[in-house]
């Protein structure tokens, strides 16, 4: 017997909408899923990630670490393999300021929220961000590198958008019910270095939204901690991405990459000097050709398997 006021057709439609949203979510993060297949999660990462979702001790992370230590891979793993898949089934969005027009995103903070809404919309049944996207999706051409129609907008239009978009975004999040939403802002230090005041305004806008949407979780990612984040989020949790110690590097080579020879592993660990990206490059060479002589590879290409952590 069907619940009063609810038909079988409406129940089927609700299930279909839910399954479609989940399929959309998994599809959105499919590339990240495959790219993170060889990632070795740091100890306690799952527990810390669960704490973020629970809001304990904070609803905001600041993930920082030098280049090559695996910040982006950690984010990919969390999104595609931990938060988005069931049972968590958390709608997620990621804005990488290396992949968009940082000038425009700094000048017009509302663009970040439109980019986020565009990613979240298909992951939620019945698209709670439809009003926002109908009105402001055309402005995304400003944020996309190489996009046609990238004319600037006048000051009055920009001011109206900066006022309207945050409120529409809040409405969309609230319409999603009690669903937790995770938003990742990646490579934020590039924005902060070039446009410090604009970065302050962007983070301030995100803080105002987070204050109204208690189920929103924010992850700021960069090579170093951004002062603007601490200013707007005094309780932010700092998550430092560390280099591999020798034991962890050896575990990665043996358990993840399948390199059985302990002498070979010791050599690779020594060469990589704790940088996961470099270690992965060496592992690629050795798994492709177990007999490869790495010194000869370096003689042919001195830049091979090097990485600046700056």
- One digit per residue, pLDDT tens: the chain, 310 residues? 455 556 888 899 999 999 999 999 999 999 999 999 999 999 999 999 999 999 999 999 999 999 999 999 999 999 999 999 999 999 999 999 999 998 899 999 999 999 999 999 999 999 999 999 999 999 999 998 877 656 678 889 999 999 999 999 999 999 999 999 999 999 999 889 999 999 999 999 999 999 999 999 999 999 999 999 999 999 999 999 999 999 999 999 999 999 999 999 999 999 999 999 999 999 999 999 999 999 998 888 877 777 665 5
- What is the Cα–Cα distance from 230 to 232, expressed in whole angstroms? 6
Task: Specify the pairing of strand 237-240 against strand 92-96.
Answer: unpaired
Helix ranges, the chain (H): 8-28, 30-35, 45-54, 71-77, 102-107, 110-120, 130-136, 140-143, 155-175, 188-194, 196-212, 227-232, 246-251, 262-272, 276-288, 294-300
Task: Specify which residues 112 forms β-bridges with.
Answer: none
Cα torsion for 98, 102, 104, 107, to the nearest 10°?
A: 150
Q: What are the start and end residues of each CATH 3.40.50.300 domain in the chain? A: 8-240
Cα separation, 72 vs 64, whole angstroms: 10
Q: What is the pLDDT of residue 74?
A: 97
* CA dihedral for 79, 305, 44, 38, sign (positive or negative): positive
Topology (CATH) of 8-240: Rossmann fold (3.40.50)
Q: Is 84 exposed, middle or buried (0-12, 13-18, 19+ CB in 10 A)?
A: buried
HSE at residue 178, side-chain half, CA atoms within 13 A, is 1
| CA distances to 151, 184, 212, 242, 303 from 80, in Å | 34, 13, 27, 21, 32
pLDDT at 303: 77
CA distance 244 to 246: 6
Q: For residue 225, give every residue at least 6 positions away whose Cβ sits within 8 Å of its Cβ, in sequence order, or none.
A: 62, 64, 238
Q: What is the dihedral of CA 35, 86, 99, 241, to 10 degrees?
A: -70
What is the 8-class DSSP label of residue 234? T
In whole angstroms, give the CA distance from residue 32 to residue 77. 7
Find out whether the peptide bond into 87 is cis, omega within 30 degrees of 0. yes
Q: How high is the pLDDT of residue 92?
A: 98
Residues in the chain: 310
């Amino acid at each position: 017997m069907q619940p009063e006021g609810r038909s079988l057709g409406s129940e089927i439609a609700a299930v279909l909408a839910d399954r479609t949203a989940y399929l959309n979510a998994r599809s959105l993060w499919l590339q990240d899923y495959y790219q993170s297949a060889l990632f070795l999660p740091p100890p306690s990462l799952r527990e810390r990630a669960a704490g973020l979702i629970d809001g304990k001790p904070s609803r905001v992370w600041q993930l920082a670490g030098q280049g090559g230590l695996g910040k982006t891979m950690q984010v990919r793993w969390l999104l595609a393999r931990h938060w988005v898949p069931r049972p968590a089934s958390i709608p997620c969005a990621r804005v990488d300021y290396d992949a968009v027009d940082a000038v425009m995103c700094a000048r017009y903070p509302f663009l970040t929220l439109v980019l986020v809404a565009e990613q979240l919309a298909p992951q939620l049944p019945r698209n709670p961000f439809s009003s926002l996207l109908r009105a402001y999706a055309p402005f995304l051409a400003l944020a996309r590198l190489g996009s046609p129609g990238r004319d600037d907008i006048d000051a009055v239009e920009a001011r109206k958008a900066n006022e309207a978009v945050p409120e529409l975004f809040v409405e969309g999040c609230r319409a999603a019910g009690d669903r937790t939403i995770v938003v990742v802002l990646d490579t934020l230090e590039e924005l902060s270095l070039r446009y410090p005041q604009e970065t302050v305004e962007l983070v301030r806008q995100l803080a105002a939204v987070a204050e109204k949407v208690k189920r929103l979780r924010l992850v700021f990612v960069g090579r170093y901690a951004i002062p603007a984040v601490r200013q707007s989020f005094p309780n932010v949790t700092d998550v430092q991405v560390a280099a591999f110690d020798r034991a962890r590097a050896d575990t990665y080579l043996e358990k993840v990459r399948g390199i059985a020879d302990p002498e070979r592993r010791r050599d690779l660990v020594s060469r990589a000097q704790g940088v996961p990206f470099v270690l992965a490059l060496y592992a690629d060479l050795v798994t492709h050709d177990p007999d490869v002589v790495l010194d000869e590879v370096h003689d042919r290409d001195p830049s091979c398997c090097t990485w600046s952590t700056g």
